[in-house]
């Protein structure tokens, strides 16, 4: 068996760990973008107001204790929120936008 210097493995180990971290980030971005386009919970999120609120630049008054429902699909596919390509699958470009 040839002799091996333990120090020769360190650069390989570091580059392997960097590659794994980059792959994990790419996988995370892909999953996030998939969930944005096709949410697992299509019904949305419900919240109850704790105090009186004014929404829509003063157009709507919502009393305390009111249940508000936020639909997932329209929010995650809105051109207002995501740009003209809201329907396109682009995990890398979404990451760049949300990092700001």
pLDDT digits (tens, 9 = 90+) for 66-100: 999 888 888 888 898 888 888 888 887 555 555 54
- CA atoms of 48 and 63, how far apart (whole Å): 10
CA–CA gap between residue 74 and residue 22 (Å, rounded): 31
Phi, psi of 64 (to 5 degrees): -60, 145
- Per-residue pLDDT averaged across 4-24, rounded? 70
DSSP run (H or E) holding 96: helix 91-98
Q: Kindly report the pTM of this predicted structure.
A: 0.57
What average pLDDT does the segment 28-47 reach? 84
57: left (phi over 0), alpha (psi -120 to 50) or beta: left
Mean pLDDT, rounded, for 17-46: 81
pLDDT over 90 at 65, yes or no: yes
Q: What's the pLDDT score for residue 66?
A: 95
Q: Would you give the distance in Å from CA 11 to the centre of its chain? A: 33
What pLDDT, on the 0 to 100 scale, is given for residue 3?
Answer: 54
Please compute the mean of the pLDDT values over residues 12-21 and round it to a whole number.
Answer: 76
Question: What would the two tokens of residue 35 be?
Answer: 């969930």
């Amino acid at each position: 068996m040839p002799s091996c210097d333990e120090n020769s493995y360190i650069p390989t180990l570091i580059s392997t760990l960097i590659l794994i971290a980059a792959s994990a980030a790419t996988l995370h971005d892909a999953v996030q973008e998939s969930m944005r386009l096709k949410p697992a919970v299509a019904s949305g999120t419900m919240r109850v107001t704790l105090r009186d609120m004014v929404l829509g630049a003063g157009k709507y008054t919502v009393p305390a204790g009111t249940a508000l429902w936020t639909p997932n699909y329209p929010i995650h596919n809105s051109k207002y929120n995501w740009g003209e390509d809201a329907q396109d699958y682009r995990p890398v470009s979404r990451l760049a936008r949300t990092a700001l």
